[in-house]
Homo-oligomer: A and B are copies of this chain.
């Protein structure tokens, strides 16, 4: 059955914009056909087409299913890579695995200073549908790392930075993360964080964590962190 994404579906019972166009022009849905809709916020609907135009597809809700959020949340914050393809696949894969928030910051060593959030958003929507999930991760461009970090660190329960200091190896993320927490993990740029940036994370209480025995690219490290935190929560 065709699956659509409509964030405000509970209030409008219709598809709009791209989803309405896709329903009318590509799938040529007719009155009486049934479809599925997710609002990306935990609700999943079976619905029947009442009227389909390229601008708006009115639907009648047949059944609503609400999914509880996970008992933990994962936010990964990272510097976009020079080659944006790498970020795009991270967004796709992290959404498939389950992710609550992805934040993009810019550091002193960031090689890229802009991203197209719209495009990443579409990739996340597509991956959410593909993996049949009812929650869409929130994507945000948060700007300058040092300005953003103090605000970001206030709200979070367990805060990590994927960083290897020169002296003592910190514990593996699997060992230092506790189950059922809200996690925030910082992943550095390709040129790594500066000493000053690292110091700021330490002042704000971020724990250093190892992600494995090999040197990982930015986007691989981000995905490994996400998967590790899911596994911390396997009962």
Contact = CB atoms under 8 A, between A and B. Distances in A.
Given A214-B96, A228-B227, A234 B132 contact: no
A223 interface: yes
A231 B231 contact: yes
Contacts of A223: 93, 223
Interface string A113-146: 0000000000000000011110000000000000
Interface in A66-124: 89, 93, 96-98
B217 A230 contact: no
B93 A220 contact: yes
A204 interface: no
A113 to B, nearest CB: 24
A198 interface: no
Interface string A219-232: 01001100110110
Interface of A: 89, 93, 96-98, 130-133, 172, 174-175, 212-217, 220, 223-224, 227-228, 230-231, 234
